[in-house]
Structure 1
Amino acid sequence: MVKLTIIGRVSDGLPLAQGPRYVNEEENDSFSTYKQQGEFILEEISRAALPLSNANIRIDHHCFYYIVGHGVCFMTLCDSSYPRKLVHCYLQELAKEFEKFDTSLVERITKPYSFIRFAGSIIGNIRRQYVDTRTQTNLSKLNAKSLQNVDFVTEDFSQIVKRRKRSYLLERATESSEQVSQIWGSKKLEVIALKWTPITILSFVGAILLWTSLIARDDQGVYGY
């Protein structure tokens, strides 16, 4: 069953619209988690950390499926047993309906989930067609030869999270290295070095000469010279 639908902008990962949720009582408490996971996947797509082709993200006994077209990501959460062909048809229908809207309107959206014109009846009406996989229409889609080669790149959500953590740690390490490099390569530090390096050298040489003269005096005292 299609349980959650999120449509987002690929360029910045902004979620534009969300369809009605369909979860049972046991899953109701987990719905906010599923939504956050979907938003995280959308962010990873915008960072080019996930492919722009059809993809299937496995998580527990569910799967996130998404397709990308014209800079927009169409994503849905389904039971892992839900037929891939029907998922593909569902997402394709969403994409076709979305194309009817002015693209400049989509680009002007700045607030998450504010594309209400699409989030309401359009997603709900399309989703209702895919509730029962045994209807004649859906059976025809499952048997259609044109959908025989429908494929999704499969990933595990846990692996995506691990990659994000490694990427974050690498970015932090790079930033720290650049900050140190900027400090040591700054003009102010260069001026300080030019000013104090000769003084430091002279002080060091003077200390050596003083130490040498003291040793010479001690030797004279010992040997009576």
Structure 2
Amino acid sequence: MVRSVMIARVHDGLPLAASMDEEEVPASVSTLGSVTDPMTSIEAGQFTFHVAVSDGVGYIGLCDRLYPKKLAFSLLSDLQKEFSTQFGGMVDSAARPYAFIKFDTVIQKTKRSYQDVRARQNLDRLQEELVDVTKIMTTSINDVLERGSKLENMSLLSSNLSAESRRYLRDTKKLNLMMLWRTYGAFIIIGAVLLVFIYVYIRFC
């Protein structure tokens, strides 16, 4: 699940807005200025910090380590778009911490929509990632054919594609099982209960 979210100015680490559960420790923003990758993930024990930087603003999400990275960055992207729309022109003029604390309501609402990984919209987001992987694989193969890469490069690419294919199949099976359980789980439970009652009735009545 998503534990907390913080938005901060990059060049000085000034917190602009945040939403944290009780007893949650906020992410350190003092080193945001040293972040060069627009999207970075840092594991810390059972948690992972996901950091997205855009237009001088850092968006930091603290999530459970097993929470899908795709969903974490999708959450931060949604917040970035909304925050930029509301406060994009005022970030540099902010002089005190949490100057845009009213944005907390947007963070809370967005967090709730991302908490359940098995929710339909989140499964759709994960499915999009699998589609993206397929497109990347297809593009890579076409690039190799067009450029006439050497045999050793083909071998390396083949190994990479094989690994991606195995991950794709594994993730697809998980998504399918989740969808089946969401669709038929209630019927399976009801059926199992009915079978138990029928067995007890036949056995003891």
Q: Per the shorter chain, which TM-score range?
A: 0.5 to 0.7
Report runs of 4+ in structure 1 exceeding 3 Å deviation.
145-149
Query: Quick one: structure 1 residues 94 and 102, their matched pair in 2 at CA, closer, same or farther if it must change by over 3 Å?
Result: closer
C-alpha distance 144-122 of structure 1, shift in aligned 2 (>3 A): same
Determine which of 43, 54, 58 is the counterpart of 2:30. 43
Work out the CA distance in 1 between the residues paired with 2:122 and 2:93. 36
CA apart distance, 1:103: 2.7
Structure 1 counterpart of 2:106, one-letter code = I
Instruction: Give the letter for the 1:112 counterpart.
Output: P
The structure showing larger relative contact order (alpha-carbon pairs under 8 Å, at least 6 residues apart) is: 1
Give the residue type in structure 1 aligned to 2:117: T
Pairing 1:133–2:106 present: no
Name the SS of the counterpart of 1:124 in structure 2: helix
AA aligned to 2:11 is: S
Residues 112 and 148 of structure 1, relative CA distance in 2, 3 Å threshold: farther
Unaligned runs of 5+ in 2: 135-205
**Distance in 2, Cα, partners of 1:111 & 1:12:** 12
In structure 2, how many angstroms separate the alpha carbons of the residues matched to 1:147 and 1:92? 17
- How does the TM-score come out when normalised to structure 2? 0.60
Q: Match for 2:9: what amino acid?
A: R
Q: Counterparts of 1:147 and 1:8 in 2: how far apart (Å)?
A: 30
Change (3 A) 1:115 1:147: farther
* Residues 118-197 of structure 1: pairs in structure 2 closer than 5 A: 118-119=103-104, 121-145=105-129, 148=133
> Is the 2:18–2:98 contact (alpha carbons within 8 Å) kept by the matching residues of 1?
yes
C-alpha distance in structure 2 between counterparts of 1:108 and 1:8, whole Å? 13
Alignment of 1:1-225 (within 5 A): 1-21=1-21, 28=23, 31=24, 34-35=25-26, 38-39=27-28, 42-46=29-33, 48=34, 50-119=35-104, 121-145=105-129, 148=133
- Which structure has the greater CA radius of gyration? 1
SS in 1 for 2:13: coil
- Gap change, CA 1:147 and 1:68, over 3 Å in 2: farther
Q: Is the 8 A contact 1:85 1:147 kept in 2?
A: no
Measured after TM superposition, the shift of residue 113 of structure 1 is 1.6
Q: Is the 8 A contact 2:38 2:54 kept in 1?
A: no
Provide the residue aligned with 1:207 in structure 2: none
1:53 deviation in Å?
2.2
SS in 2 for 1:99: helix
- Residue 175 of structure 1: aligned partner: none
TM-superposed deviation, 1:64: 0.5
Secondary structure of 2:30's match? helix
CA distance in 1, matches of 2:8, 2:132: 25
Match of 2:184 in 1: none
Count of matched residue pairs: 133
How far is 1:147 from its partner?
5.1
> In 2, distance between residues paired with 1:16 and 1:132?
27
CA RMSD, Structure 1 to Structure 2 (Å): 1.8
